[in-house]
Structure 1
């Protein structure tokens, strides 16, 4: 089994760099695929309240042969649970669904700027960490302005920022902000949701060179950049294959070629600056 690299947060804790994401996984399948991921070697599981599968993930954690202390669990507070008291309650409800006393990482799922509650929510995160219900705290889908604001108001910097990031949308500017602030970068939709990206001639040529799959090449690119990355699949073979990306070593020319694929219209998901949900 490939050695699992760790990245260190600004709070001193660590996170496995390659994780298993559960976005769009039905609750009744979550137990099965989470167990498959753990069997394949993943030790980082990423879920969220809005995914509706925390219960299934919790069942997998409870029945797994892997000890709880060896599994890094992330969940997220959804937008309509923002606000100080609501966030405290939502975290406790997530823990109950997961069957856990604490999670390793809690994220604000979106800044949801129009609600004007992201600062209160971050203050609740700080309290949850103080209470020991959460080990590390971070954010997801924050524009730079709101990211800097929560740090300025509270004096507490997120450990990590989970954002849309893939070769067609490499987020170079925001990654530079993270580096400046001491925040790890985590990529969602790291494979660009497949399709066009995985058939891109640049990717397929590098895959042939390394006798790897296109998905493995893209994951290896994320790892080489230092991103924490959480590919999702419900196909057993792909769950294993994605984990084996840890064995792929890209050279500088490969990385530069993939870097060149980014484009202005590469975003797939919503722009955090403009969403109103």
Structure 2
């Protein structure tokens, strides 16, 4: 019976190690990776939006050279910092909501209206100054310019453009798997507490002994999270990410750094909980041994009388 209990403790402690990894993983997915509010907050705290404005200015300058519409017309219409942030936040929320909600549909929000009035007014004034009628042909050209400006604004406020992958069955399969994991995430913490409860039951005569098995599982499991995070930070992996577009590069570096730091912090928390369990076991065992020796010495002294 003792052998069976010992084997049971070993197996449960081993399983606890993997459940710890899974628990950190599902918390990370639900609270960080798939959280639009966390993502948007990280972007706001970086230079992401400043670089978007710089890139937009360059793109509008090129569009101005191609269309003869002054750059200021596009800039004044689109370069409202609050408006840019709200548009980007909305697109991020829609993308993440589509990934986690089976009934959601995906569509990026592009505010075409910001360009309609200023561009149309300028073209009408230009036509009037040069005695040109604002006919259907000129209206069509104006609409084309507005569409191009809108596309530029849309591309700069969409961090995750799912239009390119949404039709692929592999993407939809991954999306469905993600939704299943998030829907049944509660099974992981439930399993975590069931294993801990089972270890306590297996050590019911000496409950403090369960601490060494629980602590071993916590320390081992957290190590699988801490070590890769430390290696990534020490090698400066987030800072080494490089893409051609500056603002996307900044976004990726910021988010990867945030994700790595979160995993390190979560792993460290679990690691110290495991160490606390091991230290607690050692202290309780030491106290019990001391009490046992004192009782024996006291009993020997009483026998002498």
TM range (shorter): under 0.3
With CA pairs under 8 Å and 6+ residues apart, which has the higher RCO, 1 or 2? 2
Greater Rg by CA: 2
Q: Which has the higher strand share?
A: 1
Q: Which has the higher helix share?
A: 2
